[in-house]
Amino acid sequence: MKDVFERFEFTGRVGEIYKGVRARLKSHDEREGTYTGFPDDGKTPFEDMFEKYANEPYIVREAYGIVESWLVSEIPFFEGDIIVGFPRPCRPVYEHFCRGITIEGGDERTERLSDEMVPFSYDEMQRRSAERVGDGERCGAMNATLWWTGGYQGHTVPSYPKLLSMGLDGVMAQIDEYDAKADPSDTKKRDFYRACRIIIDGMSRWIELHADKAALLAAEADGEKKEQLLTIEKTCRKVAHEVPETFLEAAQLMWFFCLWDWVDCVGRFDQYMYPFWRGEEDLDTLAAIFMKTWEHGVHNMTVGGVVPETGEDATNDITYHTLRIMRTMHETHPRMTVRVHEGTPHDLWGLIVLMWSEGMSDPTIASDKNAINGLMGYGVPLRDARDYSVLGCQEIEIPGKSNFGCEDGSINLAKILEYTLFNGRDMITGVKCGLDLGRLTDYKTFDGLWEAYVKEVEYITEMFCDCCNIGVDRRVANVSKLVKSTMTEACIERGLQHDEGGTVYNYGVVETAGHGAVADSLFALKTLVYEQKKLTLEEVYDALLSDFEGREDIRRMLLCVPKFGNNDEGADEMAARVLGQFWSEIRKYRSRRGDVFTGACSLLGGGIEYGKGTWAMADGRHKGDPLGNTIGPRTGSDKNGLTAMLSSVAKMPLHLGVGGTTCNVLIPTTMTATEENRENIISLMKTFSETGGQLAQITTAPLEDMKDAQIHPEDHGDLIVRLGGFSMKFIDFDVETQNEFIMRYAGSAE
């Protein structure tokens, strides 16, 4: 192949595709939500099918609705298309892998059918959560400041290898085989198989409609355009039923299923596509499929890593070319993750850091050592652990074999410490949410304080996991992942949908906020009050109660105690203790899907929102200040630079956080300006990946550029930053979030 450091050039047909996508590109938020289809066309496929099949089981009615929603949609072709396929229009009633059929509008008929289309509503989930907590007001306060349960679950990676090796007719034959084996009296399982058949048959018919349209357009065209359309027709006719043989056919079939999967996550793209790869002749097709993922907001694409069977390096030509294409586009979608390990080629490391040096926030890097060992610690066999993929906003799972929930819920540990210090009271809402264990002044020893905090964690965690499972119940009732179930190993074999435990691995995932603030607060109390006795419990309690009003002297003393993120042994040990205690606690509980809950930390803007709902803390933090958005230190608390911060994070028990624990890393372009600088960054990130780090997402925007962009946004349209899981242009964030970025990196840049 060409020099891996050479920019990818979009010329000829691909150049025209690029111009067309750029001209119709939707906003970041629309692509992030994958709402990139045409506007509402007024059609009502779900209402139509639920009326037509009124006497059928729910899962069958939903399947007919999904298929109809595609069959009645316009099939657009664009100038120069190599890969075809476009999302459904953005209608008021649609189905999504997060929650099943969703109603965001409609008419009287929609209202009349709503309970039939959505048997388990969001309101019902909230009612059951309040019932579990025991009090509606208390549950409301917890939802506002402590946790978020069941509101969003769903990212998974289907088995694209299964799709490409079996073809749609092969999948249909598999469904028929297991249906024939099923107990005739097991109507639930037979209904599941029937629904899966409806989905696969409908997808084949929808693909054939693309072939029909290509043939119709070809009849009216001539020359090169006619040949292009005839190739599209031939490709679509083939993949509507048969196993793909060429890279073009594989890419087209992969994209068709990706659309039906809500343009979610595409897994180890370079691995399952490589058997079809024929080199230079497939470059245009590779660029074309990449542009589809860009235009429609694919949430994550993973490349690199190791071969599952042998553990050898898996880097190939597609690995490099996808990064070269992304480098040329300099965009925020698709999110890209490169898996790295001891045998990762130096050229691949060099290309990664070169992209960072040019202002890119992708790719993220994922440590094979940490992720594979962590997965094996939860019982995943070595072969499957080696095949992990990153998905969503930096979560981890086994593609085609798992349903980790991808955000069963998130929880604010800082709030639990607040309950501990104020006798179970939420100081923001005034509602009693925790246990009657006492207030800060009652804990005469640090061990007593720690024991009270642990009791509060245990009490809250049981309720929290129960409420997360109510969210799972909702998704089971609403059959939220029917399309995914057709292309996930074990679902067909077991006759179970995703959220019923149909997949091989069914761990729960809990996003974790506030661990840094809790650790820093406990360490400050341990140091200043219990050990050095420079402050009394009463002094600190009164200062916290008033949010340090008139007690800036106490706040300054608390701020001066070493903090997690600065490679201080005592502070880091406390952070590891806090995180390990909670992630060990959630492991005592099982997701309704079947396996235990695991830890994660990739919060998007959650650290900002949870911070708003958290009272003043003993680390010197004011009421309402941000908490961290990732596994790193609390915003602004790391002062000793990048190396120290990464060393601190690598000490954490991230093997318990196999749901995905990403770390925000600032590597401004000023740090990668020379080849020598870039080599130093490679060494630093290798060390992080080999000594305990798991995921690192990069912001390359210099601090001064962020500050200037607030004043002169017109000069910084290409300034890209990372927010706890996704990339976005700095000027597109609100001022509050921009300020959090600046505060976050002020210390790291010193």
At which residue do the structure tokens 């690199």 appear? 304
Q: Both 104 and 253 in a single domain?
A: yes
Dihedral sign (CA 110, 116, 118, 124): positive
611 in any annotated domain:
no
- Choose the most confident range, by mean pLDDT, from 126-135, 664-673, 738-747: 126-135
Q: Both 315 and 337 in a single domain?
A: yes
Q: Both 7 and 71 in a single domain?
A: no
Q: How far is CA 104 from the centre of its chain?
A: 24
Q: Are 325 and 289 in contact (CB under 8 A)?
A: no
pLDDT for residue 422: 98
413 in any annotated domain:
no
> What does pLDDT average to over the chain?
93
Share of the chain above pLDDT 90, in %: 83
* pLDDT bracket for residue 749 (50, 70, 90): very low
> 3-class SS at 447?
helix
249 in any annotated domain:
yes
Average confidence (pLDDT) over 636-661: 93
Domain boundary at 260, 294, 322, which?
Answer: 260
Q: Both 59 and 175 in a single domain?
A: yes
Task: Supply the range of the domain harboring residue 220.
Answer: 44-79+98-119+159-260
Q: Are 646 and 664 in contact (CB under 8 A)?
A: no
Q: Both 256 and 356 in a single domain?
A: no
> 3-class SS at 530?
helix
Q: Both 299 and 373 in a single domain?
A: yes
552 in any annotated domain:
no
Q: Both 338 and 274 in a single domain?
A: yes
744 in any annotated domain:
yes
pLDDT for residue 343: 97
Quick check: bond before 334 cis, omega within 30? yes
Q: Both 242 and 272 in a single domain?
A: no
Q: Both 309 and 229 in a single domain?
A: no
pLDDT for residue 745: 63
Q: Both 238 and 290 in a single domain?
A: no
* pLDDT bracket for residue 683 (50, 70, 90): very high
* pLDDT bracket for residue 715 (50, 70, 90): low
Average confidence (pLDDT) over 301-309: 98
pLDDT for residue 34: 86
Share of the chain above pLDDT 70, in %: 96
Q: Both 184 and 236 in a single domain?
A: yes
Q: How many domains in the chain?
A: 2
Runs of H (alpha helix) within 2-90:
12-24, 28-32, 45-52, 58-71
pLDDT for residue 267: 96
- Residue 160 gets the label, from left (phi > 0), alpha (psi -120 to 50) or beta, of alpha
- Least reliable range by pLDDT among 38-42, 115-119, 128-132, 743-747: 743-747
Nearest Cα residue to 558 out of 528, 579, 537, 580: 528
pLDDT for residue 748: 46
If you write DSSP's letter for every residue of 153-212 in order, what string do you get? -------HHHHHHHHHHHHHHHHHHHHHHS-TT-HHHHHHHHHHHHHHHHHHHHHHHHHH
* pLDDT bracket for residue 750 (50, 70, 90): very low
pLDDT for residue 65: 98
Q: Both 27 and 55 in a single domain?
A: no
437 in any annotated domain:
no
281 in any annotated domain:
yes
Q: What is the pLDDT of residues 163-203, one digit of tens each?
A: 999 999 999 999 999 999 999 999 999 999 999 999 999 99
Domain boundary at 240, 260, 280, which?
Answer: 260
310 in any annotated domain:
yes
Residues counted in the chain: 750
- Reply yes or no on whether the pLDDT at 724 is more than 80: no
Q: What is the pLDDT of residues 434-460, one digit of tens each?
A: 999 999 999 999 999 999 999 999 999
Q: What is the pLDDT of residues 218-231, one digit of tens each?
A: 999 999 999 999 99
* pLDDT bracket for residue 723 (50, 70, 90): low
Domain boundary at 260, 278, 312, which?
Answer: 260
Average confidence (pLDDT) over 425-436: 96
